Each structure stands twice: as structure tokens, then as C-alpha cells.
Structure 1
Amino acid sequence: MEHGEEKAQINYEAVSDVVPEAKTYQQEEQQHEQQLLNLLDEDRLQYAGSIVLGLSDALVELTGALAGLTLALQNVKLIALSGLITGIAASMSMAASEYLSTRSEITKKNPVRAAIYTGVAYICTVILLILPYLFFENYYLDLTIALTTAVIIIAVFNFYISIAKGESFRERFFEMAGLCLGVATVSFIIGYFIRQWLGIEI
């Protein structure tokens, strides 16, 4: 939408010398563009990096952990408990890291707000990924739902960012989804071998 607004403004500028009324329309287009940007919430865009950090780390780390735990433990309550503890601890760690990182940089971002965005994005992702294990007894089904949820989160967030910043949705989506699912696959395999190696039976 924003690109369309920019093209319209260029067209109005081109004809403004010939048609004086075009300047009025140009001003209206500028106001319209500003309204669109406000709808996208520029404050969140400013902290998009912090949100990306929380989301991407939670998606990659927790999907990997859940995949490994699913095959290693094969008990939904233990998987949910382990995943939740891991997720909460990691969210606080990531928030603290983002605070220190932002504070050490020359930026307009508030370190506390950056940390909050990172931590909240992380913990929300953790909750969404853990939920299936609290409702369904089939741990393979739970893992499938968790991975599907992860892909949906990646798609929604990257769509928002691609619209707001004019970046390629497909490239961002496949990169992030590939990392997430790749780590989950490797962790799933590792979980299997660890279970066999230690002879764990629960």
C-alpha cells in the first residue's frame, strides 16, 4: 500500500505545474500515507529488531528443544514441564542480553523497552509452542502442532515486516522457517540417539 502511495505522489508532482489542483491531492496523499504508517505502529517497527530477536531465538531454540525432548522423554507432561522451564529461563536471559546490548549501542532505542519487547516476544512464543502438550496426549501430534504453530508465527510476523519495511516476504520467511525446522529436525535425531545411548525408558 505504501508503495502505491509513493507512486501516486510522484504522479501528482509531475502534473502539479500543469494542474494546480494536483498539489492539493498530493497533500492528501501524504496525509493518507502518514495514516497508514501510524496504523503499522512505528514504535513497534523501531523495536522490530528486538522482537525479531525474541521470536527467532524462541522459535529456533524451543522447537529444537521440544523436538529433542519429545523423542527422548515421550511423556507430554515431562516435555511440557521441561520446555516451559527452558523457555522461561531463556526468555529472561534473552531480555537481559538485549538490555545490555542496546545499552552499549549508540541508538535511540530505550534499553528497558527493547528488553521488554524481546522478553515478551520470547515468552509468548514459548506459551504458544507448549500449549499442544497441555491438551493432547499424543506427543507426536503435539510436536506437529508446535512446528505448524512456529511456521504460522514466522509467516505472520514476516508478512507484517515485509509490508512495513518493503522487504521480500518470501526470502525472510523461507530463511527463518528453514532455520527453525532444520534445528528441530537435528534435535529430533539427537533426542533419538541420546535415548538409545542412555537406555531411557519412561
Structure 2
Amino acid sequence: MNYRISADTMKSLQKAQKNEITEYHIYSRLSSYIKNEYNSNILKQIAMDEHHHYNVLKTFTGTDKKPNSLKILFYTLISLIFGITFGIKLMERGEKSSENLYRELGENIDEFKRIADEEDKHEKGLVEIIEEERLKFVSSMVLGLNDALVELTGTLAGLTFALKNTRLIALAGLITGISASLSMATSEYLSTRTEEDNARAFKSALYTGGAYVFTVVCLVLPYLIFSNYVVSLVFTIIAAILIILVFNFYISVAKGLSFKERFFEMAGISLGVAVISFIIGYFIRLFLGVDI
């Protein structure tokens, strides 16, 4: 090795070495938990790559590094709960500094150039071909969430000043929301069934209906907790924004889509409909002379 590595760069290499052995354990653990043999083999292959990178770095640092146990636990749980694609891509988002370091050193040292190429082409390519059911039905989840957010946020906002009673608003919201979720799930099943097999159509309907019901519960819950209808509406709006925030972050990581654009689009539509419905509910109450 003719290229001299500075003390600061050596510290960065040791940090990268620790990351490599940590990720080796994460991929190995996930491969043993995943029942899908195809996905398990992909994770084993990536784990082998990470272990190889660790050994290459070890020849430069001359030290052994222990894996980060907390990081292993965190990303293993995240992957098992939200899906391996999301967990892995979220983890890889935090490793940009190591990739940049490999690229920089790769200009003078062939070993680092090979590691950087493997990170970009091999490992990331393998992650992209992981087969994960929930990602196949993202469009169904988007349909359920988006429709529930737009329809129910607007409905609850309109009912808030029309009824001015949190229990009545919650009752009307639940009836409307659950009925709409069943309608959405049925429509999704029938539309998908004409194009796909029955099993896929059924799963698509479940994801659509499930996402809708989840959103309904989150939006109606404030009216069951608080007695003040204005406070309930405020927390319902906050819940809607949080759902949009979390879901779009998940999609942006798992599918590699723009977070900011999708978030502001969904938030703008949902809140815009809520404001319009709120105004409509207020004027209908005045027009009909309803006072509850």
C-alpha cells in the first residue's frame, strides 16, 4: 500500500469497519427470521458481502471491531415490523458517509474502489429484487388511506359545527367511516378481480379496507377522548397530518419516491377538503336552524 492514510481517515475507516460488521449481523439475523427462502438467500448474500468488506477494512486498520448491539436490535425490529425493504433502505440511508469515504479512497486504493462498486451495484441491486408482499399492495394502501383522509376529515369537520356534540360526531363518523371502508374494499376487490386472480384481489381489498379502517379509528378517536368539539377537531387534524407524514416517509424510503412532494400534496388535499366541509357545515347549520 503506497497511499498513506491520515489519522482522521483511519478513524473514519474504523467507524466504517464497525458499521460493516454490524450490518453483517443485521442481515444474518434477518435471513434466519425470514420464511421466504428467496429473500433469505438474498440477505445471506448481502451479509457475506458485508463480512468481506469488514475483513478488507481490517487489513487497513489492523484492529477488530465489535458490532453495535443496539443498532442490530433496532433495525431488526424495524425490518420485522415495517418490512425488510423499508428497514434495509432506512439503514442504508445512514451510511452515506462510509460510501463517500470508499469513493474518495478508491481513487488511490483499488480495494476501496471495489467495495464502493459492490455497495452500489451488487448490494443495492439485491435489495431492489427482494420480494415483499406489502410493497406489492402499496397502491391499495394509498387508495384506502387517501380516500379515508379526504372523505372522513371533511365529514368530521363538517359535522363538528353542524352537531357540536363530540359523541354524536363520533357516532356519525364511525358509521360513515366503517360503511365507506366496506364499500371501498368491495370496489377494490371487484376492480382487481377483473384483472388479477381471486387471491390477489382479496388481499388487495384487505389492504385497502384495513388502511381505511385504521385511518377512521385514528381520526374519530379524539371525539371519544375530548368533550370539547373544537379541541377534538384540532386533534383530528393533527392525527391526519401525522398519518400523512408517517405513511409518506414509509413510501419514500421503501419505494425511493419524493417525500416532500407527496406529503404536501396529500396534506393539501385533505386539509383543503376539511376547511371547505367545515364552512359548509357551519352555513348548513345556520340555514336549517339546527342547534344541538
Partner of 2:239: 149
For the structure 1 residues 37 and 97, does the alpha-carbon distance in structure 2 shift closer, same or farther, using more than 3 Å as the test?
same
- Aligned twin of 2:189: 99
**Uncovered stretches (5+) of structure 1, i.e. residues with no partner:** none
The 1:107–1:170 alpha-carbon spacing in structure 2 relative to 1, beyond 3 Å, is farther
Q: 1:28 to 1:197 in 2, by over 3 A?
A: closer
Partner SS state of residue 257, structure 2: coil
Report the CA distance between 1:79 and its aligned residue.
0.2
Which residue number in structure 2 is paired with residue 30 of structure 1? 122
Question: Per-residue displacement from partner, 1:97-118 (whole Å, max 9, x unpaired)?
Answer: 1111111235898000000000
Structure 2 unaligned spans of 5+: 1-88
Within the alignment, does 1:183 sit opposite 2:269 as a pair?
no
Q: 1:171 to 1:55 in 2, by over 3 A?
A: same
Q: 1:116 to 1:31 in 2, by over 3 A?
A: same
In our comparison, the structure showing a higher alpha carbon Rg is 2
The more displaced of 159-168 and 91-100 is 159-168
Taking structure 1 as the reference length, the TM-score comes to: 0.84
SS of 1:118 mapped into structure 2: helix
- Deviations for 1:115-138, whole angstroms, at most 9, x for unmatched residues? 000001000110011111111100
Cα distance between partner residues in 2 of 1:88 and 1:105: 26
2:209 alignment partner AA: G
Q: Distance in 1 between matches of 2:253 and 2:222?
A: 30
TM-score norm. by structure 2 comes to 0.59
The separation in 1 between residues aligned to 2:215 and 2:154, in whole angstroms, is 13
In structure 1, the residue matched to 2:261 is: 171
The percent of aligned pairs where both chains have the same amino acid is: 55
Aligned pair count reads 194
**RCO higher in structure (CA 8 A, sep ≥6):** 1
Match of 2:250 in 1: 160
2-side partners of 1:182 and 1:104: how far apart? 34
* Pairing of 1:32-71 with structure 2 (within 5 A): 34=126, 42-71=132-161
Closer/same/farther in 2, CA of residues 131 and 27 from structure 1, 3 Å limit = closer
Q: What corresponds to 2:222 in structure 1? A: 132
Cα distance in 2 for partners of 1:186, 1:73 equals 16
